[in-house]
Amino acid sequence: MSKYDVIVVGSGPGGYVTAIRASQLGFKTAIVEKENLGGVCLNWGCIPTKALLKSAQVFEYLKHAGDYGLSVKEYDKDFGAVIKRSRGVADGMSKGVQFLMKKNKIDVINGYGKVKPGKKVEVTGSDDKKTEYQADHIIIATGARSRELPSLPQDGKKVIGYREAMNLPEQPKKLIVVGSGAIGIEFAYFYNTMGTEVTVVEYLPNIVPVEDEDVSKQLERSFKKAGVKIMTSAEVTKVDTSGKGVKATVKTKKGEEVLEADIVLSAVGIKTNIENIGLEDVGIATDRDKIVVNDYYQTNIPGYYAIGDVTPGQALAHVASAEGILCVEKIAGMHVEALDYGNIPGCTYCIPEVASVGLTEKQAREKGYDIKVGKFPFSASGKAKASGNADGFVKVIFDAKYGEWLGCHMIGAGVTDMIAEAVVARKLETTGHEVLKAVHPHPTMSEAVMEAVADAYDEVIHL
């Protein structure tokens, strides 16, 4: 039986990053993967969706070339070629992870992994042959998949999840997106921009419901302006796939309405991959579909750990990576600080983009803070106006007493690349006055952060 210091089960952005850090720390490391290296994120999620969204953005620029003084007389889209490009980007990234495994001398074990008692992992290969491996430390990073609702069973053709939405053989004329989190909203933007008639159905009163209400309202305005139909406080109670397309019954405050479409995309969250991986055999504790871990991702059974979507933290790629690094550094005896889940940035890559970190205005008030709120619209930004991207704003929230930066919320072009300023500043316990006195370059989108802070302290110049 092969023996390792560390075996990681799952090779998504949590798993493969964990394996690399373990190897860097001198551990003999193996990683188990049943499909493609990189997991959902690199192959069916984060990366290929960004390729699709970029194609949509370029197509949108072509449509509005006249706004920039340019004349493009003939242009069209090739939906198949757009999908092919996305798949090519994903394949390239997966090959990149293969290279990183070789570079860091990590053994890649292909097959379906199950944890076993006695610090063992059983791997079933494509030939159904079972092989056992042993390790001092076993890290579970099996991720998650599209969640299915009883009223919305997925058949992979007419009612689909995110995976099928990335690889459709032809573009639907009409699409219903159920759920308006990051996945649903990004696909709604992509398909609408490519010419599909899109309806978004959201159970809660606002789309992107985890975001600040001002951001949600702005995104709804932008989407409606682009032609997306938005139904909030609405629920799909049943779907009928017996005909050529799909008929979805939607319950609203006004009653029931039947929507017809070619396809329904279910984007109502994720389900963790914790079934049939041996947790019960080992005695690893779970709670509400998550593996129970401490601050350093140790389960209740010594030698077994869990990171990423299978644990209670935010189900985000960058969270999984951070957790994995922290986990193996703790195993190596390094001094590490527990992850601050209150300072995790969230990003949605539709157009306009959405990015946020920390408390919303509502949350800050509910916690009893006396707050200062600043807001700077991109319509007052020279860079935004020059680039033709004046939709959106930066909103900041500070504790009035101590100047603590409680939250930052952005909607606009490129804001997912701007939010890190707020994350680092909050990590360093930077005050509003310190941000205000840090010179920001002009003209840039990022100076809107400084301007929003200035607005919070009644010092705004350009508004």
How far is 187 from 53, CA to CA, in rounded Å? Answer: 8
**Chain position carrying tokens 């080992």:** 282
Strands 290-291 vs 174-178: parallel, antiparallel or unpaired: unpaired
The response to whether 309 counts as a known ligand-binding position is yes
Q: How far apart are CA 248 and CA 409, in angstroms?
A: 34
For residue 180, say whether it is annotated as part of any ligand binding site.
yes
269 is in an annotated binding site: yes
Listed in sequence order, the residues at least 6 apart from 393 whose beta carbon sits closer than 8 Å to its beta carbon are: 214, 218, 375, 376, 377, 378, 410, 411, 412, 448, 452
> Which residues, other chains included, contact 11 with Cβ-Cβ below 8 Å and sequence gap of 6+?
19, 31, 32, 33, 37, 38, 39, 97, 108, 141
Q: 280 has which bridge partners?
A: none
Between CA 246 and CA 175 the distance in angstroms is 9
Confirm whether 462 is a catalytic residue. no
Query: Is 243 marked within a binding site?
Result: no
- Among candidate residues 64, 433, 442, 462, the one labeled active-site is 442
Please state the φ and ψ torsions of residue 86, each to the nearest 5 degrees: -60, -45
* Strand pairing report for 304-306 and 346-348: unpaired
The two structure tokens encoding residue 158: 């007419």
Specify the pairing of strand 371-377 against strand 174-178. unpaired
182 is in an annotated binding site: yes
The reply to whether 202 sits in an annotated binding site is yes
Nearest in space to 349 (alpha carbons), one of 90, 115, 47: 47
92 is in an annotated binding site: no
Q: Which residues are annotated as a binding site for NAD(+)?
A: 179-186, 202, 269
Catalytic annotation, residues = 442
Q: Which residues are annotated as a binding site?
A: 50, 113, 179-186, 202, 269, 309
Q: Which residues are annotated as a binding site for FAD?
A: 50, 113, 309
